[in-house]
Structure formats: structure tokens, C-alpha cells
């Protein structure tokens, strides 16, 4: 009986050790992003919850919902659509190389909105929605409620408005819904694309805003970046980490390379249990933003 009990204890210790090894210590994960969430694509649990329920501006991460609403509507993707001038001023810098009045297929408007974060494309996808622009924004908010994104609100289709807000936890739900649409995964991870417009005829080259889509070692199957002064640098992504597909949501990062650095830190933490350090300037930015959020409550 004593030998049997010893065997049982050994088995239990081995099982506990395996569980502990599979769950890295959260205190050893250091991120520049002010809010973050990480979750296996195949499960619901959050492996990382850094203020994941804090409501913050999400900038061009908005365009993921824009793509979902376009595809849900079942509109013909090969239809040629004219780029219409804005019916009201953009809430932030909306520079574009695309000419007003020129035409592009809906499919390629969607592609440019996702891979290159083209604001004029995202705007015009909404303008050509049945019922018009306001109906499109209403559909975005309806879709958010359908997905259980209770802390999410949209006021435009591009993310240029800081009033487009969500949480890292809500965006995990959005990414899961987006991954059910193969076209979103395909377009969001395409490296380069040449758009051929008509009336008048001209071509423009576009590139992906996430450098990690060009690195095979990351196995990126979904990607979207975002930036506004109010939102900081943002990244949502599905990539291979420690042998499985993982959703990474990084919001309000300091510096253009900070989200990429944080993605690397998450991957390193999952593989080794230690993320490595964060630069001092990023830590100071995080402290300043956390103070601002605390005062706003």
C-alpha cells in the first residue's frame, strides 16, 4: 500500500509540474502595450489579461469589423465602386493617394482596407452599403452586440475617430469571428498588392502594415494594425506560438515598433517563461497613460 501511495504521489507531482510548466508566470511577462489580451484561437481562456476590460480607442483595428459587415451583407465582391468624396470631414488625418471619382472592385477595396489600412477604401465600403453610411455604422454596432462585444462602440468605418472604442477582451471575440471568414485572413496577411483603378486608369502599389506577415517563422494567419494619437500603436494578430495558433491583442503601445516587440515578448514568454525587459521610455509611457485612465474614472 505504501509503495502504491508513493507512486500516486509521484504521478500527481509530475502532473502538477506539467501544468505549472504549461502556464508561465504572469509576473515574468513585461509588455510595452498599456492593455493586452492573449488567447489560444481554439479556446476561450485568456493567457494574458493586462487591463483587458479597459475601454480604449482602437484606431484602425476598426477595419476588421468593417470587413465583417461587408461580407455579412453578401454584396457582390466584383462590383466596381466609385470613390466618393467624404460627406463630412474626417476626424483625423485621412491622406490618400486614391483619386476621388476613380473606381475599384469592392473585393480590392476590402483588400486595401485590411492589408494596407487604406482609410479612403474603408470609408467608401461604408458609403456603398445598402441604406448608406449611417446604416453601415449601425450594422457595425449590431454585429458587435451579436458577438457579445459589450464594451465596444463604433462611430465610423475607418478608425480615424477616437470615439471608436473597445477592449482587448472584446477584440479577442472580434478576431475569432474574423477568422471564420477566409477572405479576411487572406487579405489581412497579403504582403503586397497592385490596385488597378479605372475612370481614369492608373495603378498604385500597396504593402502590408505588419512586417511580421513577411516572416515565415511567425506563421501569421490574421493581422491588423492601427494608430491614432489617442490610441497609440495597436496590433491584433493570429500567429503560431509554442506550437499553436494564438490570438494576440496589443493596444496603446509606445513607438512604431513597440507592438512588434511585444508580440516577440509574448512568444518568448510562452516558450521560455520569461519575456525579457521593456525599454524605459515605454515603461514611462505606460505609467503616464495608466495615470490618465485612473483620473478619468
Active site residue ranges: 60, 63, 117
Cα–Cα separations (whole angstroms), residue 231 to 138, 160, 239: 22, 10, 23
- Rg (C-alpha) for the chain, rounded Å, is 21
Q: How many CA atoms lie within 13 A of 63 on its CB side?
A: 34
> With 0-12 CB in 10 A as exposed, 13-18 as middle and 19+ as buried, what is 72?
middle
Q: 175 and 234 in contact (C-beta within 8 Å)?
A: no
Q: 170 and 141 in contact (C-beta within 8 Å)?
A: no
- What are the cell numbers at 282? 515605454
Angle (CA) 84 90 91, round 5°: 165
Q: For residue 212, give the DSSP letter.
A: G
- Helices (DSSP H) in 29-118: which residue ranges? 62-72, 106-115
Which segments of 53-191 are extended strands (E)?
A: 56-57, 80-82, 103-105, 165-166
CA proximity to 113, closest of 213, 187, 165: 187
- What are the cell numbers at 5? 501511495
Amino acid at each position: 500500500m505504501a509503495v502504491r501511495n508513493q507512486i500516486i504521489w509521484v504521478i500527481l507531482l509530475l502532473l502538477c509540474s506539467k501544468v505549472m510548466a504549461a502556464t508561465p508566470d504572469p509576473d515574468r511577462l513585461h509588455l510595452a502595450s498599456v492593455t493586452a489580451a492573449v488567447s489560444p484561437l481554439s479556446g476561450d481562456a485568456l493567457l494574458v489579461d493586462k487591463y483587458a476590460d479597459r475601454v480604449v480607442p482602437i484606431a484602425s483595428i476598426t477595419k476588421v469589423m468593417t470587413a465583417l459587415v461587408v461580407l455579412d451583407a453578401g454584396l457582390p465582391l466584383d462590383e466596381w465602386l466609385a470613390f466618393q468624396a467624404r460627406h463630412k470631414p474626417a476626424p483625423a488625418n485621412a491622406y490618400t493617394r486614391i483619386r476621388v471619382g476613380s473606381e475599384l472592385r469592392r473585393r480590392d477595396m476590402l483588400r486595401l482596407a485590411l492589408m494596407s489600412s487604406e482609410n479612403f477604401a474603408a470609408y467608401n465600403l461604408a458609403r456603398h452599403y445598402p441604406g448608406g453610411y449611417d446604416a453601415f455604422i449601425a450594422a457595425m454596432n449590431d454585429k458587435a452586440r451579436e458577438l457579445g462585444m459589450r464594451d465596444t462602440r463604433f462611430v465610423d468605418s475607418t478608425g480615424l475617430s477616437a470615439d471608436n472604442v473597445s477592449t482587448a477582451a472584446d477584440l479577442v471575440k472580434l478576431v475569432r469571428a474574423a477568422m471564420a471568414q477566409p477572405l479576411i485572413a487572406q487579405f489581412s496577411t497579403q504582403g503586397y498588392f497592385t490596385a488597378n483603378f479605372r475612370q481614369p486608369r492608373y495603378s498604385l502599389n500597396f504593402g502590408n502594415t505588419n512586417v511580421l506577415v513577411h516572416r515565415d517563422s511567425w506563421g501569421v494567419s490574421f493581422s491588423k494594425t492601427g494608430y491614432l494619437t489617442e490610441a497609440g500603436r495597436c496590433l491584433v494578430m493570429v500567429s503560431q506560438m509554442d506550437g499553436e495558433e494564438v490570438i494576440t491583442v496589443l493596444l496603446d503601445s509606445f513607438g512604431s515598433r513597440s507592438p512588434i516587440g511585444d508580440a516577440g515578448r509574448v512568444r518568448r514568454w510562452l516558450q521560455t517563461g520569461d519575456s525579457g525587459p521593456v525599454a524605459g521610455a515605454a515603461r514611462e509611457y505606460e505609467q503616464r497613460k495608466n495615470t490618465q485612465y485612473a483620473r478619468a474614472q
